[in-house]
Chain A
Amino acid sequence: MVSGNSASSSSLSMKSDEDIVNNNNNLRVLVVDDSPMIRKLHDMYLKKFGLKVQVAENGKQAVDLFHFGASFDLILMDKEMPIMDGEEATKELRTMGVTSMIVGVTSLDSPNEKQAFMEAGLDYFFTKPLTTDNISFILQELNKKNNKN
């Protein structure tokens, strides 16, 4: 059972679970995390919301996907990863002109590190692991953004 209850003013919260899943069927998400456990967890959370999910193990894989022409509506980006970390990958993606929503998902607790990560080009930042409320909020914002475009 999933519910969009993070913003009472949203029309999403008035819809049934089936409507929420149907609404999200065309949205593509990239989960970027070096932890197989987190990738599996977030993959499952997102699929419950009807999203199409692809995973990458580090920032370089994420950037390479975009170089090869892939596109995603939403990127969930971990910070601490080998080869290329989330901050560097986010900067790189924004430099490439990627306008997907990028949400930092990390266990960072230093305010300076969080700020640096945000300034790399994130739209939002959440602590790991994501909850269904976090995902509801993100999708709500994503739908608002898509409706504006």
Chain B
Amino acid sequence: MERNPLRRQLQIMRKSLFDQGYLDEQFVQLEELQDDSNPNFVEEVVTLYYRDSARLILNLEQALERKPYNFNKLDAYMHQFKGSSSSIGAKKVKAESTLFREYCKSGNGEGCMRCFQQLKKEYATLRKKLEAYFQLARQAGPMETACRPK
């Protein structure tokens, strides 16, 4: 049991990210790559994810403004976004990406639009939680080992 109160709070926060389905096993794989010589590796990768996501979300928004929808293009952008989200273990965002792609395949424009709005919400929520998590991690100091969720 972690004695340091900040560390304990961090563990609780981390566990809830997994229990509430925001993150999956891929995030643990990232944590296992982090070490003393790269103590901020996970946060650095996640920051790059935010950058990728901002670009892809903008591309999707612009594509959804053009009618009729180019479902192939929408699908291609979302495919990239799904891949990127999978790489950091962004479980809910990945699920919405999958659903969006199904709507693209069936040519359902309204479904795409609805799903995209939900995806943006999930992404914003995840980003807010991860930013709070990394801020607390910085305050708590370096972790010695990665912990797997129960």
Contacts and interface: CB of A to CB of B under 8 A. Distances in A.
Contact of B52 (A35, A107, A109): A35
A132 B29 CA distance: 9
Contacts of A37: 45, 48-49, 51-52, 84, 87-88
Interface stretch (A6-14, A40-48, A61-69, A118-126): A40-48
Contacts of A80: 80
B24 to A, nearest CB: 13
A48 B49 CA distance: 21
B45 A107 contact: no
Interface in A110-149: 128-129, 131-132
A48 B88 CA distance: 18
B107 interface: no
A35 B38 contact: no
A36 B33 contact: no
A40 B48 contact: yes
Contacts of A70: none
A45 B48 contact: no
Interface string A27-44: 000000001111011001
Contacts of A129: 26, 86-87
Q: Interface size class for chain A?
A: 10 to 19
B44 interface: yes
29 contacts: A1-B32, A35-B48, A35-B84, A36-B48, A36-B51, A36-B52, A37-B45, A37-B48, A37-B49, A37-B51, A37-B87, A37-B88, A38-B87, A40-B45, A41-B33, A41-B45, A44-B33, A44-B38, A44-B41, A107-B79, A107-B80, A107-B83, A107-B86, A109-B79, A128-B83, A128-B86, A129-B26, A129-B86, A129-B87
Interface of A: 1, 35-38, 40-41, 44-45, 48, 80, 107, 109, 128-129, 131-132
Interface of B: 26, 29-30, 32-33, 38, 41, 44-45, 48-49, 51-52, 79-80, 82-84, 86-88
